[in-house]
Structure 1
Amino acid sequence: MDSTTSTESEVAYDIPPILKVYKNGRIERLAGFEVVPPGLDPETNVESKDVVIAVKDGVSARLYIPKTTYPPTQKLPILVYFHGGAFIIGTPFSPNYHNLLNNVVSKANVIGVSVHYRRAPEHPVPIAHEDSWSALKWVASHIGGNGVEEWLNKYGDFEKVFVAGDSAGANIASYLGIRVGLEQLPGLKLEGVALVHPYFWGTEPLECEAERAEGTAKVHQLWRFTCPTTTGSDDPIINPGQDPNLGKLACGRVLVCVAEKDLLKDRGWHYKELLQKSDWPGVVDVVETKDEDHVFHMSDPNCDNAKALLNQIVSFIK
């Protein structure tokens, strides 16, 4: 075997079931690459289309609007959603996220903006966070009806904006809530932030982490892999307890969803404690799903617990 062939097949990093990085630099994503087209979903009567936000950076989004009463008789709240996948895999265009947004948009009667940010390791964290901030500013550019997207210009209610996400996307949603508080987006009122199985971490293990040493070691490694410039697991991006600006979160309401068997479960509960100890004046609720693991609703969206989780998110928005 010559040296070229060997670097092509030799694995430098293996992060199952997410990706493999080969010694020659080739990256192979093992999940989250399926794509479905936008269009009218006959089951939910929600229409979607893809838009480009920043050509140079490859930031885009899939927009959703309910067609049940079209055109809408009133302005609709806006939900800006960020997908999970450890900052490495997944897109808004994959079947599970497309179906999730169709369902949430239909049931909550909102305009959905599902954001496609650049992913690690080619684009290390915090590029995902900067791209997502660009996307939120793009949404805000439609305040006053002068943006490029008719759905947002005509039907978006910028007094009722929600940001949400699962796993790594929930981490981004929290970050954006704080950044809106720090930098402001005049004319945009952030009503609430919904975090599903948020990917937060820290050096000091919490209760359920202390019992699962192998899993916690993998999360520490994964974080360093996605953010090579990090100071470690107490970096404010991954550990809200180390963020001096947490109390500046711009919304009045937060929903945190956790799953009983998830290694990250205690981080969700801890986030509630941190918010309550900070000078943030809002209300935070945590909902725990029994007998389920991390982002279970993505792999089994039709199970009873997934339907209940969807309804919790919808009622939070409504």
Structure 2
Amino acid sequence: MDSGAQRVSAELPPLLRVYEDGLVERLVGSGFVPATLNDPQTGVSSKDVLISPESAVSARLYLPKLTCNRRKLPILVYFRGGAFCIESAFSFLDHRYLNILVNEANVVAVFVEYRRAPEHLLPVAYDDCWAALEWVSSHSVGRGANYEPWLTDYADFDRIFLGGDSAGGNIVHNVAMRARAQSLPHNVRVRGALPIPVSTNREKGALQERSFGISNTELRFHSG
């Protein structure tokens, strides 16, 4: 090894590598893309919002092409896959998939950008996603602090659903159980959850059919 090269302290192949100086190299995952207004394929619009300045939890919101019928739409709070450590709510594959999903399901989607391992081990991802659900629920009584008009103007808070693929399916389960045991703002209730959705290939616009979790003790890397 070149004496000037950084030494690997831990790795989780084929996903990522951690160097002694703390640098994390993610080995797989699609590149980031910006939010779009009126996606040319689906007509879906999206934008990015900051949920918590303290934790930097954020989300990409999706709104289907609106019709003359202004009936309010169900809310889908969605959690991405990626083994808790790769991909992002802003990644190309996820952005394309959410455009297709929102168009076909006709929902307002909140795609949560939770903090990733190994910089932030569980239960951080669970707490971030719970905070995002609390933020969504807080809009049910109108325009409060840090409000988002796409939620207050277009969303039906009597129809909030959770969804996620892969690691996101694990988060769905955790957040749904927490919602059962702990009250959301203004007594908003989650109406349904999809921890292991049907279909097979997200790259073709379908949910993946698998779910798993990583605990602090399990997320230990082998020396490189």
Contact 2:30 2:93 in 1 (8 A): no
Contact 1:33 1:89 in 2 (8 A): no
Is residue 145 from structure 1 mapped to residue 105 from structure 2 by the alignment? Answer: no
Contact 1:143 1:187 in 2 (8 A): no
How many aligned residue pairs are there? Answer: 204
Question: In the alignment, which residue of structure 2 is the partner of 1:172?
Answer: 171
Equivalent-residue separation in structure 2 for 1:48 and 1:81 (angstroms): 14
Please, which of 83, 88, 91 is the counterpart of residue 86 of structure 1? 83
Percent identity over paired residues = 47
Q: TM-score, normalised by structure 2?
A: 0.84
Contact 1:145 1:152 in 2 (8 A): no
Give the drift of 1:100.
Answer: 1.2
Is residue 38 from structure 1 mapped to residue 42 from structure 2 by the alignment? Answer: no
Give the drift of 1:146.
Answer: 1.8
Equivalent-residue separation in structure 2 for 1:12 and 1:52 (angstroms): 33
Runs of 4+ in structure 1 over 3 Å off: none
Q: Matches of residues 96-175 of structure 1 in structure 2 within 5 Å?
A: 96-147=93-144, 148-175=147-174
Contact 2:76 2:163 in 1 (8 A): yes
Question: In the alignment, which residue of structure 2 is the partner of 1:207?
Answer: none
Equivalent-residue separation in structure 1 for 2:149 and 2:96 (angstroms): 23
State the SS of the aligned residue for 1:142. Answer: helix
Equivalent-residue separation in structure 1 for 2:176 and 2:183 (angstroms): 10
Equivalent-residue separation in structure 1 for 2:134 and 2:44 (angstroms): 24
Contact 2:64 2:106 in 1 (8 A): yes
Equivalent-residue separation in structure 1 for 2:101 and 2:82 (angstroms): 19
Give the drift of 1:2.
Answer: 8.2
Question: In the alignment, which residue of structure 2 is the partner of 1:282?
Answer: none
Q: Deviations along 1:260-318, whole A, 9 cap, x unmatched? A: xxxxxxxxxxxxxxxxxxxxxxxxxxxxx6xxxxxx513x416xxx4xx59xxxxxxxx
Structure with the higher helix share, 1 or 2? 1
Contact 1:159 1:187 in 2 (8 A): no
State the SS of the aligned residue for 2:81. Answer: coil
Equivalent-residue separation in structure 2 for 1:137 and 1:43 (angstroms): 32
Contact 2:77 2:109 in 1 (8 A): yes
Give the drift of 1:13.
Answer: 1.9
Equivalent-residue separation in structure 1 for 2:22 and 2:34 (angstroms): 30
Contact 2:42 2:103 in 1 (8 A): yes
The 1:56–1:187 alpha-carbon spacing in structure 2 relative to 1, beyond 3 Å, is: same
Equivalent-residue separation in structure 2 for 1:114 and 1:2 (angstroms): 42
Q: Deviations along 1:185-214, whole A, 9 cap, x unmatched? A: 234231111123xxxxxxxxxxxxxxxxxx
Greater relative contact order (CA < 8 Å, ≥ 6 in sequence)? 2
Q: Deviations along 1:230-287, whole A, 9 cap, x unmatched? A: xxxxxxxxxxxxxxxxxxxxxxxxxx54xxxxxxxxxxxxxxxxxxxxxxxxxxxxxx
Query: 1:195 is aligned with what amino acid?
Result: P
- The gaps in structure 1 that reach 5 residues or longer are 197-255, 258-288, 290-295, 311-318
Query: 2:72 is aligned with what amino acid?
Result: K
Equivalent-residue separation in structure 2 for 1:159 and 1:77 (angstroms): 8
Give the drift of 1:33.
Answer: 5.2
Equivalent-residue separation in structure 2 for 1:166 and 1:78 (angstroms): 17
Q: Which structure would you say has the larger Rg?
A: 1
Q: Matches of residues 1-318 of structure 1 in structure 2 within 5 Å?
A: 5-6=4-5, 8=6, 10-32=7-29, 34-39=31-36, 40-69=38-67, 73-147=70-144, 148-185=147-184, 186-196=186-196, 256-257=197-198, 297-298=201-202, 300-301=203-204, 306=206
Question: In the alignment, which residue of structure 2 is the partner of 1:273?
Answer: none
Equivalent-residue separation in structure 2 for 1:25 and 1:153 (angstroms): 41
- The gaps in structure 2 that reach 5 residues or longer are 209-224
